[in-house]
Amino acid sequence: IKERTLVAVKPDGVQRRLIGEIIKRFEQRGFRLVGLKMLQAPEKLLAQHYVSLQKKPFYPSLLHYMTSGPVVAMVWEGHNVVRSSRMLVGDTDPAGAAPGTIRGDLSVHISRNVVHASDSVQGAEKEISLWFQSAELIDWEGCD
């Protein structure tokens, strides 16, 4: 099944110069980059993105973290890319993220876990439409 998912390098990932490392892992796996931009995420966008977490005690600090610097938002396309991206990224809590995953290799704390990836096909569709306009997504054929 060809799918698309939203992946974002969070502000700590940008500050730690990990953009290239994260892109490299998705490219090497064989996924296709169809959208890419750097932005200072507006609070309104983050409020929609994290709507299901609004009642959580860590929500204010999550918004503070996500607005502490620019974010690199990407849309990746490929066979089962939603599930595979979650595997590439690793567990939400870096302490439980397997070595070899992005979080398992590059992060320590759940509140600074360097990267986001959509957790379901439905969630991905919603998140992609929040972060990107359709004209910003480029259809291109690879050699797969």
Three-state DSSP at 51 gives helix
The correct pick among 111, 121, 126, 137 for binding ligand CMP (CB under 6 A) is 111
**Binding of residue 4 to ligand CMP (CB under 6 A):** no
**Binding of residue 67 to ligand CMP (CB under 6 A):** no
113 labelled binding-site residue: yes
Which one, 3 or 12, has the nearer CB to ligand CMP?
12
Q: How long is the chain?
A: 144
Q: Which range of residues in 35-43, 72-80, 110-118, 127-135 is near ligand CMP by CB under 6 A?
A: 110-118
DSSP for 76-123?
Answer: EEEETHHHHHHHHH--SSGGGSPBTBHHHHH---GGG-SEEE-SSHHH
DSSP state letter for 37: E
**Considering 49, 79, 109, 116, which one is annotated as catalytic?**
116
Q: Based on the residue annotation, tell me whether 79 is a catalytic residue of this protein.
A: no
- What's the gap between Cα 3 and its chain centre? 15
Interface residues with ligand CMP (CB under 6 A) are 53, 58, 62, 92, 110-111, 113, 116
Catalytic residues: 116
